[in-house]
């Protein structure tokens, strides 16, 4: 059965990667999965374009590799900026009310939440999302409304995509294996920076190196305020069965707050070099010497049972050199979970690349497979 998809955020990093991956699927793979994904819609922040027959592979490959804008797409029906709010009606008008999967690879907040709710409540279409805001930033009711039917909503790419943490926690909760604690290193960027610092690199140099390797957001501070880690922890805690909100998380930013007020990122980096390199290095050295510990930026959940609310924290922690967190290298993510069955003595552990463009896009494609009605009845 043909699966029609509409990609929101088609001109972004993840958008172009998933378009490439879909275009590169060869016919034998289609036959194996009985899953011919056909891209019928593309949107960026300004325009959307529709080709009800499906955009050709050649076109998709060209679109993704030449960094074309949606407004410049030829041979398709195009709608301008005012059209994005009418996208659902337009698609319904073309007979795509039920038979459509929207892939959200934008970083939008309220507009994405409202669109997801609109699709789930008012249409029969499905969603696969790498955008974590709709499930991680708003109240628990929004999360429940969106995720209650897994045959219509898939979001494994929103947190630790590469490690499959979202479906694993959800399945543990569903079979009644209660989750008591989670400890996780959820940010590849902060993992890399703290690892380099533990090897003696200065804070400002570690940030510059992470930037140079393309690990950070365009403004590196977006990775260092703890918000992204907290959104991921919100999702993981909800999967573990706790009806918590983003505001229940105690967030300690990696950098002092005043560094987020400086307008120019380059100016900020210079001030970090001047004011923070030495104290951060001294602190790391003395902790290493006196307690055989190093620093990592971690997320944690502690549940003490009964009706108690879990304690949720995100921040810099000193960890023993023997701990698996201290042995983490590069941008690897790590999660350790204690449940009724995976006890303190034998916790569940997973380590590996948490995200990255290729892995995120491939996890979205796995979510597309799950949304295929035959596969979704797992
Ligand atoms: N990068 C990763 O490795 C990774 C991993 C996991 C999850 N994610 C998540 O995936 C999402 C995309 O990340 P990215 O790095 O690809 O971001 P990006 O490069 O900034 O791309 C964002 C895309 O969204 C489009 N967009 C913005 N507002 C829109 C709207 N109202 N309607 C339709 N499209 C809109 C942008 O269009 P314009 O070109 O017109 O601005 C652009 O195509 C984010 O939520 C991110 O957190 C990323």
106 lines ligand 1 (CB under 6 A): yes
Decide if 153 is inside a domain: yes
Torsion of CA 229, 233, 236, 239, to 10 degrees: -140
Residues 26 and 107 in one domain: yes
Residues 196 and 302 in one domain: yes
359 lines ligand 1 (CB under 6 A): no
Decide if 165 is inside a domain: no
- Structurally, the chain folds into a number of domains equal to 2
> Which of 215, 231, 203, 240 lies closest to 353 in space, CA to CA?
215
Residue 87: in which H helix or E strand, if any?
A: helix 87-93
Residue among 19, 43, 44 whose CB has most ligand 1 atoms within 8 A, to mutate: 44
Decide if 302 is inside a domain: yes
11 lines ligand 1 (CB under 6 A): yes
The CATH number of whichever domain residue 80 belongs to comes to 3.40.50.720
Query: Ligand 1 centroid to 127 CA: how many Å?
Result: 15
Distance from C-alpha of 260 to C-alpha of 132, rounded to nearest angstrom:
22
Distance from C-alpha of 161 to C-alpha of 280, rounded to nearest angstrom:
31
Please state the atom number of ligand 1 nearest to the C-alpha of residue 15.
Answer: 16
Residues 297 and 365 in one domain: no
Decide if 286 is inside a domain: yes
Query: Ligand 1 centroid to 358 CA: how many Å?
Result: 14
Please state the atom number of ligand 1 nearest to the C-alpha of residue 133.
Answer: 45
Residues 239 and 176 in one domain: yes
Please state the atom number of ligand 1 nearest to the C-alpha of residue 131.
Answer: 45
Query: Ligand 1 centroid to 315 CA: how many Å?
Result: 26
Residue 374 reports pLDDT greater than 70: no
The residue contributing the CA closest to ligand 1 atom 30 is: 45
- Per the structure, the complete domain to which residue 341 belongs is given by 171-354
Residues 125 and 181 in one domain: no
CA-only gyration radius of the chain, Å: 22
High-pLDDT (> 70) share of the chain, %: 95
136 lines ligand 1 (CB under 6 A): no
The residue contributing the CA closest to ligand 1 atom 15 is: 13
Q: State residue 30's pLDDT score.
A: 52
Average pLDDT, the chain: 91
pTM listed for this prediction: 0.94
> Which of 94, 129, 144, 186 lies closest to 360 in space, CA to CA?
129
293 lines ligand 1 (CB under 6 A): no
Decide if 166 is inside a domain: no
- DSSP string covering 184-241, please? EE--HHHHHHHHHHHTT--HHHHHHHHHHTT-S-SSGGGGTSSHHHHHHHHHHHHHTT
Decide if 226 is inside a domain: yes
**Confidence band, pLDDT 50/70/90 cuts, at residue 325:** very high
Query: Ligand 1 centroid to 219 CA: how many Å?
Result: 15
Q: State residue 376's pLDDT score.
A: 46
13 lines ligand 1 (CB under 6 A): yes
Residues 133 and 249 in one domain: no
Residues 230 and 139 in one domain: no
**Confidence band, pLDDT 50/70/90 cuts, at residue 126:** very high
14 lines ligand 1 (CB under 6 A): yes
Of 136-145, 250-259, 290-299, least confident by mean pLDDT is 290-299
Query: Ligand 1 centroid to 10 CA: how many Å?
Result: 8
Residues taking part in catalysis: 232
Q: State residue 378's pLDDT score.
A: 42
Residues 323 and 273 in one domain: yes
Residue among 6, 8, 11, 12 whose CB has most ligand 1 atoms within 8 A, to mutate: 12
Residues 321 and 197 in one domain: yes
The answer to whether 360 and 161 are in contact (CB under 8 A) is yes
Query: Ligand 1 centroid to 274 CA: how many Å?
Result: 33
Residues 114 and 212 in one domain: no
Give pLDDT tens digits for 165-209: 999 999 999 999 999 999 999 999 999 999 999 999 999 999 999
User: Helix, strand, coil: what percent of the chain each, to 5?
Assistant: 45, 20, 35
Residues 363 and 348 in one domain: no
331 lines ligand 1 (CB under 6 A): no
Decide if 28 is inside a domain: yes
Residues 258 and 337 in one domain: yes
The CATH number of whichever domain residue 226 belongs to comes to 3.30.360.10
43 lines ligand 1 (CB under 6 A): yes
Q: State residue 39's pLDDT score.
A: 95
167 lines ligand 1 (CB under 6 A): no
Decide if 87 is inside a domain: yes
The residue contributing the CA closest to ligand 1 atom 29 is: 45
Give pLDDT tens digits for 60-98: 999 999 989 999 998 889 998 766 678 888 988 888 877
Query: Ligand 1 centroid to 281 CA: how many Å?
Result: 35
């Amino acid at each position: 059965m043909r699966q029609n998809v509409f990609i929101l955020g088609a001109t972004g990093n993840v958008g172009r990667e998933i378009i490439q991956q879909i275009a590169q699927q060869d016919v034998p793979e289609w036959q194996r999965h009985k899953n011919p994904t056909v891209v019928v819609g593309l949107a960026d922040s300004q325009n959307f374009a529709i080709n009800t027959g499906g955009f050709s592979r050649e076109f998709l490959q060209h679109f993704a590799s030449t960094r074309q804008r949606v407004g410049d797409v030829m041979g398709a029906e195009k709608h301008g900026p005012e059209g994005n709010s009418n996208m659902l009606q337009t698609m319904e008008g073309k007979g795509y009310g039920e038979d459509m999967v929207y892939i959200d690879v934008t970083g939008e907040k309220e507009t994405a939440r409202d669109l997801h709710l609109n699709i789930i409540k008012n249409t029969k279409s499905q969603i696969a999302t790498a955008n974590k805001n709709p499930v991680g930033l708003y109240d628990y009711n929004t999360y429940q409304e969106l995720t209650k039917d897994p045959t219509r909503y898939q979001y494994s790419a929103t947190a630790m995509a590469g490690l499959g943490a979202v479906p694993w926690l959800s399945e543990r909760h569903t079979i009644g294996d209660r989750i008591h604690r989670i400890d996780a290193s959820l940010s590849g960027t902060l993992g890399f920076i703290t690892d380099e610092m533990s090897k003696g690199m200065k804070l400002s140099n570690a940030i510059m190196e992470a930037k140079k390797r393309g690990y950070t957001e365009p403004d590196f501070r977006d990775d260092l305020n703890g918000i992204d880690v907290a959104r991921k922890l919100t999702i993981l805690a909800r999967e573990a069965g706790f009806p918590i909100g983003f505001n229940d998380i105690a967030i300690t930013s990696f950098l002092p707050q005043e560094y987020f007020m400086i307008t120019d990122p380059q100016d900020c980096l210079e001030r970090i070099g001047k004011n923070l390199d030495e104290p951060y290095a001294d602190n790391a050295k003395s902790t290493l010497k006196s307690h055989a510990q190093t620093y990592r930026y971690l997320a944690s959940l502690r549940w003490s049972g009964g009706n108690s609310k879990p304690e949720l924290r995100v921040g810099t922690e000193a960890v023993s050199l023997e701990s698996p967190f201290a042995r983490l290298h590069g941008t690897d993510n790590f999660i350790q979970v204690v449940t009724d069955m995976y006890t303190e003595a034998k916790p569940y552990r997973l380590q590996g690349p948490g995200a990255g463009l290729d892995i995120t896009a491939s996890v979205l494609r796995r979510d597309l497979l799950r949304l295929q009605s035959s596969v979704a009845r797992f």
